[in-house]
Amino acid sequence: MLQVRNLVKVFNKGTVNESILFDGLGMDIQEGDFITIIGSNGAGKSSFLNLVAGTLSSDEGAITLKGKDITKLWEFQRTKLFGRVFQNPTLGTSPSMTVLENLSMAYNKGKKFNLSLGVSKDNIPFFIDLLSQLSLGLEDKLHTEVGLLSGGQRQALSLLMATMSNPQLLLLDEHTAALDPKTSKTIIELTEAIVLKKKITTLMVTHNLNQAISLGNRLLMFHRGKVVLDIKGEEKKSLTIEKLLGYFEEIQSKEAISDAMLFSNF
């Protein structure tokens, strides 16, 4: 469904600070996959999402979505097909507008934004129904400015808004990292429910290994711009934290060995 071929991304190209993040990354994502992505800081998880979403432009390589080359498309052209939730809860909603106004905008995604009224009264029962499923009390706050909501409420709203128009691909960039454990759990449950119900192909970056293991049908571990671990299917179901940590240490020790070899030359 989503194919990434020979993706190259170099930061600060041509300067002394040049750093190559991806050097020929390739990936195939199937329709309906729910993929969790883990990796240490600087591994390229978020950059990968940014490259797919078009926030960053790639230096080489091709990204195709359902056979359509999207590499050259602007971010706003790609986002027509994508839904995205960010780590920062303030990025998904418009703070000075009300919950109802925000939802109405998301509902209209993919349709024309013309001079007809922004809020359609007919949609209000539908929105109330959606919000009450969150059990965060948002259904009583339709006319509250989003800026007055808590981070968890905003993130739940962002998630609703990102998935409302049934995107072909959902990108979740550590979307629970800024929340307290309890709210984080609520949002994760909500994520799973929505993704499974709407069968949206999803890429989820997380630092929480429990989440990475329990959610989805495929797990990718990034390390220094490469996919070092790709676990799917039955193997993914039987995965435990101990196994995952084992893999992780194996990768780390390989590096330690190569470092040792490097230094042994001196």
Partner 1 sequence: MTSFWLSILEQGLIFAIMSLGVYITYKILDFPDLSVDGSFPLGAAVTATLLVMGINPFLACLLSMFAGMISGGITGLLHVKLKITNLLSGILVMIGLYSINLRIMGRANIPLFTQETIFSNSLPPVLIVAIFVFVAKLLLDLFFKTKLGFLLRATGDNPQMVTSLGIDIGMMKIMGLMLSNGLVALSGSMMAQYQRFSDVGMGTGMIIMGLAAIILGEALLKRFSFVTATSMALFGTILYRTTIASALRLGLPPSDLKLITSIIVITALGINGKKLPFNLNLKSLIKIGGVHNVTGAKSSKSFQ
Question: Closest CB to partner 1 among 91 and 251?
Answer: 91
- What are φ and ψ of residue 208, in 5° steps? -95, 110
265 binds partner 1 (CB under 8 A): no
Restricting to residues 131-150, name those near partner 1 by CB under 8 A: 141, 144, 147-148
Residue closer to partner 1 by CB (options 40, 144) is 144
User: Encoding tokens for residue 159?
Assistant: 């998630």
* Coil, strand or helix at 49: helix
Residue 107: DSSP 8-state: H
Is residue 262 involved in binding partner 1 (CB under 8 A)? no
Phi, psi at residue 65, to the nearest 5°? -120, 115
CB 145 within 8 A of CB 95: yes
Nearer to partner 1, 152 or 225 (CB): 152
Q: What whole-number distance in Å separates Cα of residue 134 and Cα of residue 44?
A: 32
The yes or no reply on residue 119 touching partner 1 (CB under 8 A) is yes
How distant, in Å, are the alpha carbons of 10, 85, 173 from that of 44? 11, 18, 12
**Sole residue written with tokens 């960039």:** 173
- Residue showing tokens 């013309």: 114
Contact between 41 and 213 (Cβ < 8 Å) = no
Query: If you search the block for the tokens 């999207």, which residue do you land on?
Result: 70
Return the number of the residue (40 or 88) whose C-beta is nearest partner 1.
88
Stretch that binds partner 1, among 39-47, 63-71, 78-86, 239-247 (CB under 8 A): 78-86
104 versus 184: smaller Cβ distance to partner 1: 104
Euclidean distance between CA atoms 110 and 51, whole angstroms:
22
Q: Is 236 in the site for partner 1 (CB under 8 A)?
A: no
For position 104 contacting partner 1 by CB under 8 A, the verdict is yes
Smallest gap from residue 68 Cβ to partner 1 (A): 15
Task: Select the residue interacting with partner 1 from 23, 59, 75, 192 (CB under 8 A).
Answer: 75
79: contact with partner 1 by CB under 8 A: yes
Q: Is 126 in the site for partner 1 (CB under 8 A)?
A: no
| Choice from 12, 15, 17, 116 touching partner 1 (CB under 8 A) | 116
CA distance 153 to 24: 39
177 binds partner 1 (CB under 8 A): no
Residues of this chain, 83-102, that bind partner 1 according to CB under 8 A: 83-84, 86, 90-97, 101
Q: Residues 47, 80, 35, CA angle at the centre, nearest 5°? A: 45
| Of 57, 77, 132, 253, the one binding partner 1 by CB under 8 A | 77
| Interface residue list for partner 1 (CB under 8 A) | 74-77, 79-84, 86, 90-97, 101, 104-106, 108-110, 112-119, 141, 144, 147-148, 162
